[in-house]
Structure formats: structure tokens, C-alpha cells
Amino acid sequence: MSRFEYAPAPESRAIVDIKSSYGLFVNGAFVEATDGKPFKTVSPSSEEVLAEVSEAGPADIDKAVKAARKAFDKVWGPMAGRDRAKYLFRIARLIQERSRELAVLESLDNGKPIRESRDVDIPLVAAHFFYYAGWADKLEYAGAGVDPQPLGVAGQVIPWNFPMLMLAWKIAPALAAGNTVVLKPAETTPLTALAFAEICQQADLPPGVVNIVTGAGRTGQALVEHSDVDKVAFTGSTEVGRSIAKAVAGSDKKVTLELGGKAANIVFEDAPIDQTIEGIVNGIFFNQGHVCCAGSRLLVQESVYDEVLARLKRRMGTLRVGDPLDKNTDIGAINSSAQLAKIRELSQIGEDEGAERWSPECELPAEGYWFPPTLFTGVSQAHRIAREEIFGPVLSVLTFRTPAEAVEKANNTPFGLSAGIWTEKGSRILWMANQLRAGVVWANTFNRFDPSSPFGGYKESGYGREGGRHGLEAYLAH
């Protein structure tokens, strides 16, 4: 069966105006950092330097938190919910108006395919602001009592895999609840957060309500440990999550942590195979596998293992790896050289431990950070590739015979963020979902998100929920 040949269909970069350098966004204005060294943000698909970005040090963090505190005390906290909602609606509409620009900027800075940033990320960003705008004058129904109050200043640290979407997950509920925000984006993907700062200016958001401070781990640590921060929200690695939990232990700070995962995607013999194959591909190769809830462990019932594997390999052979701005691209660039090195290291460990590695024939671009879609068979639960989060386009395939064995293998992990179940039996779906120790369980689909649905994990995947009423409750005093 011959493959279709696709003519390139690149999205234009001309719609994006990237400045040569960016300051910090504090108290409604862009300002120069006072005690940090500037750093460069690089496009992972070409290794091109996109811009120079300021690093916020402790003194800069202090200014941002003070601006947020003043805005909370004087303006945003006392403001009526219906008036806060108007600002959130305005931000949501501006995101929609600038959606094409934001999608291109996200793909340039992050490496993800334009069709994902255009069709998934940015529409969900706007949807979250619309959703929480609707909550702003209805807080008494959020489950935090009859007269819920905001916590104060929220210090928020987000990762590089969904830069704009993670910003929306954090900022939208915080503002709806009446809090003000100091947010630190990941050092490899700061540009859409800085574009969001411009949107805040366009929306005439009162100064200090949203502050964007850029930098690496030192900046995030200064924000988390600042004495005048009332709430810490973090999405990222389990290792950093542990250090944050230790840093805030014994303080009055409220904390939500959304950390790593090693999700099981469980396929039963009665599953709709064509639909299942698409779900498997979406579960692990969406966003290059840079997804904390990725279905990176595929559990297939033995009776259909050969058929599923054959069809999966055939489908993987049609995936197109390349320029993130090409609308035909399925898999873009790995976000950084450091992440690529980690993926390569763990994949090599998988081979060394005896698993069989397979990738389709795939010509990778000469420049940038790339890794082909890969699967491992002959994997046992003891293999590191079945236990550790690779955070890349790498799938481990295991088998099971009975539902009880599937549950045992799925739960045999230190993580507990998500899982997927593929079967035609509704009763089996409900039974499995009740047995699985995962915060989100998808049935005959994978990686589906909605602003009204809570998301979060168990065990080393963190605690607290984001999205829905539960995500709003996390920013309210009980």
C-alpha cells in the first residue's frame, strides 16, 4: 500500500512579531529585570534563537508579589464578581481574535505541530477563560461555603509542554475566584506567556492583577518561597513537585501539584480496533509524547495482541515528522536538547534491558531536536521504560489475559494521573474505572479535555484538581 505524497503546507510566520528582547511583566507594564541574567529562547525545530528574555531574580519576584498584593487589596479582591467576569470574557475574546498568531508563536517556541496548537491548545485556552468568566459571579455554588473568599496572591509555575494551555488552567480560575497572580512560565517556552501579558494590557486589566516573571528554577524557587504568596500551583516533574511540597511545609500556603504520569492504555479483545488504534496513537504521539497523562504503557489482551500490534505499526508508518509549521505534520520537534538526551537515554536502557525496539522508516530533519515515533515490545513491568516517565514519543507494549490482571498491571506504578479503557462493554468500563488508581479515566478515547471537567492525580502524580468546579475551589478559602 503506497503512501500519499504531501506537498508542504506551511503556516506563515509573518503573522507573528517576535521582539528581539523581552522584559518582565510587573504591575501592568514591561520592565527590565534588576538582578537576573538574560537568557535566550530557542526554536526546537531549527535551533534558531527567537528572542532574549529577562531572568527574574528575588528582588524582581518581590516587586511582582507586592504589585499583586496591592492589586488584590485595593482593586481585584473587593471587585464584584460580575465585573471580574467582564475582564475574563474580554481576555477570552482577545485570545480568539489573536488565535492564529498565538498558535504560530506556540509552535515556533515549543515545537508542537501547528494543527495541534491551532485546533486544540488555543481553542481550549479561550474556552477556559470563557468557562471561568461564567463562574466569577457564582462562587457561592462552587462548594466552598455560602460566602467563599479568595486566598490572595497565587504563585504559579507552569511547564513547557502546553505553555499557553497551562497558563489558562492556572490564571483563569484564580482570577475568577478573586485572586491576583504571579506566574512563571518555563524557561524554554516563555513567548506565549509574554504575549498573554500584552492581551492583559489590551483588556485593560487593572495593573498588578496578572504578573509574568520569566526565568528558570531559581526564579520559580524564589516565587514559591516568597512569604507573601498565599497559594502555590505547580505543574511539572515529580522531582520538583517534591521540593515544592517540602518548601511550603509548615507554612499557611495552599498548594496544588500536578506532576508526572505513566498512564496505562488498556485494550480488550472486544474493542473497536480502528478507533482504538487512533486512540493509541493520539495517546502517546500527540504533542511528541510531551504529555503528563500520555498513554505510554499499552496493555493489550493477548487474544488480539498480534492484530493490534500489526495495525499500530502500519498506522505509525503513516505519521509525518517534521516542520511544526507545516499543516501536514503529525509529530513536531522535541522541546529541548536536554529532553531529547533523556528520551535517547531511556530508550537505550530499554534496549539494553532486553526489550525490542521498533520505529517506522523516518527521515528526520538535519537541524533541530527530533526523535522518531517508537514502540517497545517484550516489555515487562520491571523494565525502566515501563516504570519511568520518558516524556517523549515512546510506547511500551505489555499484554494481559484477564481484567483483574489488567488492573494489577495498570496500578503497578508510582504514578496515578490517567488511564484509558477500550471495550464495548459498559459494565466493564465502570468496573475498571472503579478499580484503577488514576485521577482521570477515559473510555474509548484518550487525551480529551474540557474546561468543566476536573483533572489531577494520585500518588506521585500530585494532589489537588484543576478544571471544573474543583479547580475553582482550589483558589477559594473554605
Q: Which residues are catalytic?
A: 258, 292
CB atoms within 10 A of CB 31: 15
Sequence-distant (6+) residues with CB within 8 A of 311 are 273, 274, 277
Cα–Cα dist 163/94, whole Å: 17
Exposed / middle / buried, residue 147 (Cβ in 10 Å: 0-12, 13-18, 19+) = exposed
**Cell numbers that stand for 425 in this block:** 462493554
Q: What are phi and psi of 345, to 5 degrees?
A: -65, -50
**Cell numbers that stand for 266 in this block:** 488498556
Q: What is the three-class DSSP state of 343?
A: helix
**Cell numbers that stand for 157 in this block:** 509555575
CB-CB contact of 395 with 374 (8 Å): yes
Cα–Cα dist 394/343, whole Å: 8
Q: Is the dihedral of CA 176, 177, 178, 179 positive or negative?
A: negative
For residue 372, give the nearest of 342, 350, 345, 340 by alpha carbon. Answer: 340
Long-range contacts of 243-252 (CB under 8 A, 24+ apart): 244/157, 247/221, 248/224
Cα–Cα dist 439/456, whole Å: 5
CA distances from 216 to 38, 54, 168, 434 (A): 11, 10, 20, 39
Can you give the length of the chain in residues? 478
For residue 23, give the nearest of 14, 15, 32, 13 by alpha carbon. Answer: 32
DSSP letters, 223-243, are: HHH-TT--EEEEES-HHHHHH
CB atoms within 10 A of CB 14: 7
Sheet harboring 39-43: ordered strands across? 21-22, 48-53, 39-43
Q: Name residue 130's amino acid.
A: F
Q: Is the dihedral of CA 239, 242, 244, 247 positive or negative?
A: negative
Q: Is the dihedral of CA 24, 25, 26, 28 positive or negative?
A: positive
